[in-house]
Structure formats: C-alpha cells, structure tokens
Amino acid sequence: MQDLFWIFISALLINNFVLSYFLGLCPFLGVSGSLDTSFRLGMATTFVMLVTALCSWFLNTYILIYAPYLRLISFIVVIASTVQFIEMLVRKLSPALFRALGIFLPLITTNCAILGLAIFATNRSYGLVEGLVFALGSGLGFTLAMVLLAGLREESELSDIPALIEGTAMNLIIAGILSMAFMGFSGLFSAA
C-alpha cells in the first residue's frame, strides 16, 4: 500500500511528466491558452493514460514475451486504435461528455506522454495495480502542470510584455521557473 502511494506521489510531483521528463510538451505549450480547456484536456489525458496502462499490461503479459522487438509498434497501434474506439464509444453513450472533450480526444494519441507512460511502466516492470496508480499520478501531474501554466499565461496576457519575447519563448521561460519550483519536491522522499 505504501509503495502504491509512493508511486502516485512520485509521478504526480517529484517526477512530473511535463516538468521533469519533458513529455507531452506539445499540448503543454500549444493548448495551455485558457484554464478551462487545459483542465479538460488534462482530464481526458488522464483517462486515456489509465486505459493505456491497462492495454500495455495486457500486451506485456500475454503477447510481448514472445516477440519483444514488436513492443514499440504494437504499443502505438494499440494505443491509437483504443483511443479511436473510446471516441466512438463516448460519442454513442454520452454525447455531452463527447462535446466537452471535443477535438482533444483524438489528438491525445500523438501525445508522447501516453507512449512514454507505457514504456516507463514496462521498463520498471510494474504490475497491473501499480501501472494504474502510476497512470493516475502521471495524468493528474500533467493536468496540474497544464493548469498552472495556463493560469500564468492568462495572467501575463494582461501585462505589458515586449513583443520580442511574447509567445513560445516566454512560455518556455515560465515553464523553466515552474520546473525549478517543482524541483523543491525532490526532497520529499529520501530513496530514489
């Protein structure tokens, strides 16, 4: 139980996917314009991450022990088709949720945080429950980072910024400072 809590906190804060592994930077920099959308995208990503953890555990346990060199290809194909399937399912079962997630659901397939999650979970040989907890922690960590950056960006739009630094350059510098703040969490646990 303690191990699970540890995995969760570590994925959420200490080894935050965005701010210390640099995964999922495209949506992090691209879609973090407003608080509302970034929160919704974060939630959708968390959901896909949980499903991916389930799929990758299944693949690893039953199929890939026979053909390890197919790992990458099978992961990406399975993730893409699962996302497609979930999209169809959500559209049929709950149109309201589908509208809320919008274009973000299909776009999540190409988010490197998803494939990264599957690869990290495999490399650390997590079991099913550990993998799911890891996915939940990473997803919420991604959401946290997105919401923080979106908040700062909304704030910065009201202030007077030189035209030269506006846009990606400034977002990156803000992200750098955020990442520095998150480094403070690394003392939370003694063992790595």
Partner 1 sequence: MATKTSQEYEELIKGIWRENPVFVQVLGMCPMLAVTNSAINALAMGMATFFVLVGSSILVSSFKSLIPKQVRISCFIIIIATFVTVADYTLLALVPTVHKALGAFIPLIVVNCMILGRQEAFASKNTVRLAALDAVGMAGGFVVALFTLGAVREVLGSGSLFGISLFGDSYSPWVIMILPPGGFLTLGLLLLLFNWISLKREQFLDAVTAAERSGI
Q: Interface with partner 1 by CB under 8 A: which residues?
A: 19-26, 29, 69, 71-73, 76-77, 80, 110-112, 114-116, 119-120, 123, 164-165, 168-173, 175-177, 179-180, 183
Question: Shortest gap between Cβ of 179 and partner 1 (angstroms)?
Answer: 4
Taking a C-beta distance cutoff of 8 angstroms, is the pair 149, 175 a contact? Answer: yes
Question: Shortest gap between Cβ of 2 and partner 1 (angstroms)?
Answer: 26
The token pair that represents 162 in the structure block = 């030189």
Q: Which is nearer to partner 1, 100 or 170 (CB)?
A: 170
Q: Which is nearer to partner 1, 74 or 100 (CB)?
A: 74
Closest CA to 107 of 84, 91, 74: 84
Which residue type is seen at 174? I
Question: Shortest gap between Cβ of 16 and partner 1 (angstroms)?
Answer: 9
Question: Shortest gap between Cβ of 23 and partner 1 (angstroms)?
Answer: 6
Residues whose CB is less than 8 angstroms from the CB of residue 173 and which lie 6 or more positions away in sequence, other chains included: 165
Q: Which is nearer to partner 1, 100 or 178 (CB)?
A: 178
Q: Which is nearer to partner 1, 55 or 112 (CB)?
A: 112
